[in-house]
Structure 1
Amino acid sequence: MRTVNLILPHSWEELSERQLLFVSSLYLQGLTRNAFLTKAFICLSGLRILLGRYGDRENPVYRFRKKGEKAFPMSMGEILDFCRKCEFLLEYRENFSPLPVLAGRKALNTLMYDACFGQFISAMVYYNQFKDPEQDRHFLDKLCAVMYPPGHWNPDDIRQEDFACLPLHVCYTVFLWFGTVMNVISRECPGLFRETSDDAEPVSLRENIHAMYNLVTEHDITKEKEVARLEMWRVLYDMDEKARRIKEMNERLEQYGRV
């Protein structure tokens, strides 16, 4: 029996640029979980599905070909087994390799270690405002402009129009990327994110941003511009430490009563 060696990436970091773009396009197609994973498996393994199928209705058999090799059969059951190796594409992300260049502009560091706090706030705003790919494309372009800055950070001149002509799935890779950044921040700075329940009142993005600035400036609005220019992670770690101390103090007050 001839053996076919199928090699698949195991994480987002291992995706090639072509694979990343394909996966990004899958996210925009409204696919079911199985359809998403099946298409991802076929692409990431470098297979091409051939016309026709045989076998029974419950477990049909399809024919595939890999470049430079002869065609071979694979049952639907076998396909679904391989699809499980692509489930990381639909799970919680803490690693990512963004496209290095977009619209002729270089990407920030993957975890934004070279970004200032103002850049992070802008990215967070545009990330949260992008809800509908058809109607909110301009917010996605702005997110791209923040993550691929034209030079020294200037919030009044991000030149988002540089990205307007790019295909949606290309720019959507930036949305996936910043989502990964937020996942890492929530892990590294747990004090900045409170647990939510189904009956909890939603907190607006504006209130969240004001709370962040108030925490680090101690309600001194004259310091906000200065804080915006500081290194992003330095500010986040400082806020997380202050939030942790406030939480501990409140817990002690609740335990022993207010004086």
Structure 2
Amino acid sequence: MEAFSISLPKSWSELSDQQLLFFFRQVARDLPMNEVLALCVCKWAEIVVLCHADKHSCLVKDRKSKHQVVLADWQITFVARQLAFLESFAPKPVRIAVIGGASAVAADLQAVPFEDYLACENYYQGFLHTQSMECLAEMARLLYPKLSDKACWEKAELLSVFYWFASVKANFTRMFPHFFTNIPQEKSNLLGSADLGVGEELRQAMNAQIRALTGGDITKEAAILQMDCWRALTELDAKAQEAEEMRNQLK
């Protein structure tokens, strides 16, 4: 038996479409995260577990070199911790670039219409509130616009959309801090339920955003909804900063 080295991705941005899909397929099975990471190690490092060597170790083979080696359980756990970044959302938006032959919009949502961004936000909150995968499917149809309406989504693909949009929201909070620190945050955990009044809160928030951009002129609404969401959020952030500065002056 010979030793062999193991090379693994070091960040979300290094993952290929195939690697992302494999990860989300394991998450979709509701496995414990440590088991998910161990499976990713075996898949991405091309390791095959041949058998248990004893109670606390196993015999594995490198698919490429065909070398075999006995690895203790603690060694596998140690290696799996190199993938600990998968336990949190990506710091910058990452998504599966192509699903069913259809390309995704830009990972950071640049050039996505403000109307589509608002719809995605509503579906995202709807998923947190209801746990309905249909909410994620509606998001996916917006984020993969050329995919057939008849396409059947894997649960793994839909979960990847959830993780993607969660990263987008975190990125927007950093990019547009004045606006996003002045709107209500979700009162839920990662996949938990939001407050029962979330639908009304979202409707009011959406209307307030549109009014802020149109200045109350309804003739501008159609153009505002087709605006690049980054441009719209930049303007909303500037307005929020101005309002904050005005409040500070009044104090």
Give the gaps of 5 or more residues in structure 2: 188-194
Q: Contact between 1:93 and 1:183, CA under 8 Å: does it hold in 2?
A: no
Where does 1:192-207 land on structure 2 (aligned, <5 Å)? 192-194=179-181, 204-207=201-204
Deviation at 1:35, TM superposition (A): 2.3
Could you list the runs of 5+ residues in structure 1 that have no partner in the other structure? 151-158, 255-259
Residues 1:125 and 2:122 are matched in the alignment: yes
Letter in 2 for 1:84: R
Q: Structure 1 CA distance, aligned partners of 2:158 and 2:186?
A: 32
Query: Which structure 2 residues correspond to residues 1-259 of structure 1 after superposition, within 5 A?
Result: 2-55=2-55, 60-68=56-64, 69-131=66-128, 136-150=132-146, 161-163=149-151, 165-194=152-181, 204-254=201-251
Deviation at 1:132, TM superposition (A): 8.3
- What is the rounded CA distance, in whole Å, between the counterparts of 1:38 and 1:248 in structure 2? 50
Q: Which residue identity lines up with residue 154 of structure 2 in the other structure?
A: P
CA distance in 2, matches of 1:224, 1:22: 42
- Quote the Cα distance in structure 1 between the aligned partners of 2:247 and 2:27: 42
Deviates more, 1:34-43 or 1:20-29: 34-43
Distance 1:141 1:197, change over 3 A: closer
Once the 2 structures are TM-superposed, how far is the Cα of residue 43 of structure 1 from its aligned partner? 2.4
CA distance in 1, matches of 2:30, 2:226: 39
What's the C-alpha RMSD, in Å, of the aligned pairs? Answer: 2.6
Show CA shifts across 1:159-208 (max 9, x none). Answer: 87333x2322123222222222112111101112227698xx98622232
Distance in 2 (alpha carbons) for counterparts of 1:64 and 1:205: 52
Aligned-partner Cα distance in 1 for 2:67–2:101: 40
Q: Secondary structure at the match of 2:159?
A: helix
Normalised by the size of structure 2, how large is the TM-score?
0.83
Q: Which amino acid aligns with 2:244?
A: K
What residue in structure 1 maps to residue 190 of structure 2?
Answer: none
C-alpha distance in 2 between matches for 1:96 and 1:39: 24
* Equivalent in the alignment of 1:156: none
Identity of aligned residues (%): 25
- The 3 A distance-change label for structure 1 pair 185 and 46 is same
Q: 2:12 and 2:186 mapped to 1: Cα distance?
A: 30
Q: Quote the residue 1:154 is aligned against.
A: none
Tell me the distance in 1 between the aligned counterparts of 2:83 and 2:74. Answer: 15
- Within 2, Cα distance between the matches of 1:221 and 1:44? 53
Q: Deviation of residue 101 (structure 1)?
A: 2.5
Q: Give the secondary structure class of the aligned counterpart of 2:207.
A: helix
**Quick one: structure 1 residues 239 and 249, their matched pair in 2 at CA, closer, same or farther if it must change by over 3 Å?**
same
Distance in 1 (alpha carbons) for counterparts of 2:250 and 2:47: 62
Deviations 1:29-76 (A, max 9, x none): 333332232223222322222222415xxxx11222221322211112
